[in-house]
Every structure is written in structure tokens, then in C-alpha cells.
Amino acid sequence: MQGCYINLERSNERRAAMDAQLQRLGLANVRRHTAIDAQALAPGNTAITPGERACFLSHTEALARANPDEALLVLEDDAQLSEALPAVLRSGALAQLEAEGCDIAFLECQPVTSTQHLLALWHSLQRRLPPQGSGAPRHALTGIDFLDARTLYNWGAVAYVVTPKGLRVLPALLQEAITHGPSQPYDLTLGSFLRDGRLQGVVLSPFLATPAWGSHADSTLGSPAESAAHDVLGGALRRLFFAGPLEGLEAHVAPWRHAPLTDDPQLRLLADLMAQLFVLTARDHAPR
């Protein structure tokens, strides 16, 4: 398998961290792909920010340069990878995806936060993680599940695999989107392709990657400061389904977990009821 991670020329600390992580996991064949810098782009009349446009172009370029006869692992340079990832990549799971007509397999994502989809992820986690009390690390998985990305995937392009079939399909779709704007960030564009059936994809569960702690804080995509709550809570949700360490997660979200996000008492009550009902549903429908 070929692989790359997307990294700005000026992001030396992220480059060093990624190189060290890949070396430790035995993924030295994953090479650095120099990201397109938003500061070097000519002004464009698009609905997305210059950082989002540069990200879109960087991913598109990485796919276009890949060998179309071999699956491609694509990582962003803030990806924290599970210790289980190398074994999954060697397991033949990707060949199964290709045989089933899959174009793209996400190693993690921000999921659609409906009860149905969160329960699917939660039950997968319970099936595939080692038993509690066994002393085994979270990455000692008993297997991996393929969940339908068409309905589960919301956004996120931190880590994914494009099959040879996908490498024959996706670059042309992206070039078409670029010709018309693009009108959405890269990951939301992937979501549109999935939902309209032009791209076939799955989400691997448990997640085999997750954004590094606090990576949103130094993002070059131009996220507004008011998105901090979404970044912290959404990032924590993604990490909860990660086949890797969770140490520090509760402390990380503590300032936001019970924050008074609304003054509307009925909205607060609704949130509390949803949380309790989710626990009851998860308990009552736990895998046997």
C-alpha cells in the first residue's frame, strides 16, 4: 500500500511528530506530501476560506499523484494513529473493500449524531474492544466493522484509504467540484458524493485514527473562534470511538461538558432527556 501525509512546508513540528509516529508504527512507506499553502494562493471567488481551498487542493493533488493500481492511505498531519492500524492494513480487509466495490474507507470521522448512528458505533466498540478488566490495551481489537458511510459520515478527512477503484473515480469528481468553486470544504464535498451515490464508502469501527489533542487550535483552515465548543466536544466524541488511549479525555472536555450553553430551560431539559434515553437504549440493546 502507498501512503502520504499532507503537511505545510512551515509546519515543522507536525512533520517531526508524524515522521516519529509513522516510524514507530512501521509505516515508513507513508511519505510526506507538501501541502498547498493558502498564503501562496491567488484570491479566488469561492464560498470557502483560503485555508479550506488550500486543503481541498492539497488532498486533490495527493490523490492525482498516486499510483491508481494501489490503495492509498491519506493522512492529515494532526492524525493520531491507533497501534492497531498496521495490523488492519496487513489483514486483507482492504482487499475485501475493493471486492465489495468500495471507493473510500474512513479511519475516523465526525459521525452523524443521531441515536441510531451513535449506537452503531457504540455497539461496534463493545464488540471489538478487549473485555473490560482483561488488562489488554484498547488497540487489542478482536476485529473491525465496516459501517455505511453514506448515512454515518458527517465530516472529517484526518485519515482515510482510497481503493484503486476509488482512485479511478474520486479525482475526476474533485476536479469537477474545483471547476465549480469548490462550494464546500473538502470533507463536506466527500459527504455530498457519498449521499448522492457517486462515491461508495465505509467508516471503519472502532476508529483507527483521531485528531491530535488541541489540533483545532492551531489549524490553518480559518475556523472562527466561536466554534471552540464544537471543536472540543466534537473532537472528544470522535476520540471516544478511537482504538487507542483515552487518558485525559474527561479533563479535556470538563470545561464544556456541563457548560451552560443555553438559557432556555426547556432546551436544557431536552438535552438531559436525550442523554438519559440514549443510555437506556444502549443498555437495553447491548450486544449479547
In a domain, 267, yes or no: no
Whether 162 and 72 have beta carbons less than 8 Å apart is answered as yes
In this prediction the pTM is: 0.92
Whole-angstrom Cα distance, residue 162 to residue 167?
6
Is the model's pLDDT at 276 over the cut of 90?
Answer: yes
Nearest Cα residue to 88 out of 208, 211, 241: 208
Has residue 116 been placed in a domain? Answer: yes
Query: Per the domain annotation, does 283 fall within a domain?
Result: no
- 271 belongs to a structural domain: no
Task: State the cell numbers at 157.
Answer: 478527512
pLDDT score, position 217: 46
- Per the structure, the complete domain to which residue 213 belongs is given by 2-257
pLDDT in tens, 235-263: 999 999 999 999 889 988 888 888 888 89
Q: Alpha-carbon distance 180 to 177, whole Å?
A: 5
139: domain CATH number is: 3.90.550
Is 103 among the domain residues? yes
What pLDDT score was predicted for residue 57? 95
Classify residue 71: in a domain, yes or no.
yes
Across residues 163-172, what is the average pLDDT?
Answer: 96
- The verdict on residue 183 lying in a domain is yes
| Banded model confidence at residue 112, pLDDT cuts 50, 70, 90 | very high
Share above pLDDT 70 across residues of the chain, in percent, rounded to a whole number? 94
Does 120 reside within a domain? Answer: yes
- Structurally, the chain folds into a number of domains equal to 1
